[in-house]
Amino acid sequence: MIKPAKRLEHFNEYFFSERSRYIKSLIEEGKDVINLGIGSPDMAPSEATIASLHQSAKSPKNHGYQPYNGTSTFRKAISLYLFETFGVSMNPETEILPLMGSKEGILHVSMAFLNYGENVLIPELGYPAYQSVTKMIGASTIRYKLDENWEPDWDYLENLDLTNVKMLWLNYPHMPTGAPGSIEVFEKAVEFGIKHDILICHDNPYSLVLTPKPISIFKVKGSREVCLELHSLSKSHNMAGWRVGWITGSAELIKSVHTIYSNVHSGMFKGLQEASAEALTNSASWHKERNAVYAKRRDLAFALLDKLKCTYDKNVSGLFVWGKLPKESPDAMQVSSDLLNQKHIFVTPGNIFGSRGNRYIRISLCASEQLFNQALKRI
C-alpha cells in the first residue's frame, strides 16, 4: 500500500474545500442555502476585461507557452498600477512576478526561503494557508499575538525566542477581522525584519475593498531589504475564479521565487494576462461603484450580527465583517453548523483562522442585498 507523506498528518483538506462539498450536497437535496462564507465576489469583472480575453483568445498565435515570468505587457501594467494605486515604483523586469493567484504564492515564497525546521511567525488570527503550507514544507509555525486592534503585538514579538525564525506573515487589511492596518504597522514590521534578519511577507489582497486609501508595505523606507508583497485581482477586480495575482519585491528576492516557479509552472495563459492588464486600468468610478455595493451589504451584515447578538467593530476594511459571539452562545463551529443545518445560512466559524477565533464568526459581503434580506428573515 502506498502511504501518503507524513506531512499530510499535520494538516487537512482546506476547510472551504470540504465545506463547499457539504453545501453542494445540501443544495442537491433541495435546500436553499445562502452562502455567506467564502469571499468570492458575485459581481463580474469590467466589460473591457472580458472583451480583452475574447480578443486575445481569438488570435491563433496566443495559445503557446508564455514567458515563465509573465508577459512584459502584463508586468508593465502591474508596475503602473502599483505606482498609481499605492505610489510605489517596482521594476517590471525584475521586481514583479505574475502568479496564478496569490494563494499559490504562499507556497512559492515558502519554498524559496524556508529550510526544513526553520520557524515562521504567523498571525493569530490569520489566513489558514499560511499555517498549512509552512507545515507542508517541513518548517515550523509560531502563532504570534495580535493586540486588541488586531495589529501585531511588537513587545510580545520582541520577547519571543527568535532563534531560527526566518519569516513573518503580515496581512492588512487583515483577514478575517477587517482591521485596516496602517503605514505605522508596516514601519514597525520593516524595522523588526531588518533588526532580526527576518523576511516580512505582506499579503495584500484586500487593499482596494472598502479601504479609505490602499497601502503597500513598499512605501516604507528599507522595505526592499526584507519584504515581499502578494497582490491579487480576486477581490479588487471581481476575478477570484481567474486565479491571477503577483508577487513583488527586490530583484534579488524575486529571483529566488522565480527559480522555484520556473521549475513548477510554465507561465500563464496569454488571454488571462492580457485581460488582467486591461482590468488593472479599471477606472476609479468602477472601483467606487463596487465599494458602494459592498458598503450597503455591510450594513445588512451588521444587522445580521445584531440579530445573532454579536458585537463588532464598524471600522473595518475588506470583504468581511467579523462578529464576536455573545457569552451564552456555543462556540463558533457549533454556531456555524447550526446556522447551516437549521437556517441554511453558511457563515465561517472564526476558529479556522486560529483558536482565538473560537468566539467569532465571519460574514462575507459576496451576496446580494436580496440574499442578505432573506437571511435576516430566516433568523
State the nearest-atom distance from the C-beta of 66 to a copy of itself, in Å: 5
State the nearest-atom distance from the C-beta of 202 to a copy of itself, in Å: 14
Decide whether 159 or 263 has the Cβ nearer to a copy of itself: 263
State the nearest-atom distance from the C-beta of 150 to a copy of itself, in Å: 24
Decide whether 265 or 309 has the Cβ nearer to a copy of itself: 265
Q: How far apart are the first and last CA of the chain?
A: 49
Decide whether 140 or 256 has the Cβ nearer to a copy of itself: 256
For every residue of 180-203, DSSP letters joined together read ---HHHHHHHHHHHHHHT-EEEEE
Decide whether 44 or 183 has the Cβ nearer to a copy of itself: 44
- Max Cα–Cα distance, the chain, nearest Å: 63
In whole angstroms, what is the distance from residue 48 CA to residue 196 CA?
46
Torsion of CA 253, 258, 259, 263, to 10 degrees: 160
Grid cell at residue 103: 494563494
DSSP 272: H
Nearest to 341 by CA among 109, 5, 19, 7: 19
State the nearest-atom distance from the C-beta of 50 to a copy of itself, in Å: 5
Grid cell at residue 357: 477565533
Nearest to 328 by CA among 351, 301, 309: 309
In whole angstroms, what is the distance from residue 94 CA to residue 99 CA?
14
State the nearest-atom distance from the C-beta of 228 to a copy of itself, in Å: 9
In whole angstroms, what is the distance from residue 92 CA to residue 269 CA?
19
Beta bridge partners of 296: none
Q: What angle do CA 134, 121, 20 make, to 5 degrees?
A: 50
Decide whether 138 or 376 has the Cβ nearer to a copy of itself: 138
State the nearest-atom distance from the C-beta of 120 to a copy of itself, in Å: 12
- Classify residue 300 as exposed, middle or buried by CB count within 10 Å of its CB (0-12, 13-18, 19+): buried
Decide whether 243 or 324 has the Cβ nearer to a copy of itself: 243
Decide whether 132 or 211 has the Cβ nearer to a copy of itself: 132
Contacts of 335 (CB under 8 A, 6+ apart): 308, 325, 329, 347, 349, 361
Decide whether 28 or 328 has the Cβ nearer to a copy of itself: 28
State the nearest-atom distance from the C-beta of 315 to a copy of itself, in Å: 27
Decide whether 21 or 31 has the Cβ nearer to a copy of itself: 21
For every residue of 200-220, DSSP letters joined together read EEEE-TTTTSS-SS---GGGS
Q: What angle do CA 174, 185, 86 make, to 5 degrees?
A: 75
Decide whether 132 or 171 has the Cβ nearer to a copy of itself: 132
State the nearest-atom distance from the C-beta of 149 to a copy of itself, in Å: 28
- Classify residue 238 as exposed, middle or buried by CB count within 10 Å of its CB (0-12, 13-18, 19+): buried
State the nearest-atom distance from the C-beta of 257 to a copy of itself, in Å: 9
The three-class DSSP label of residue 36 is: strand
State the nearest-atom distance from the C-beta of 3 to a copy of itself, in Å: 8
Grid cell at residue 221: 523606507
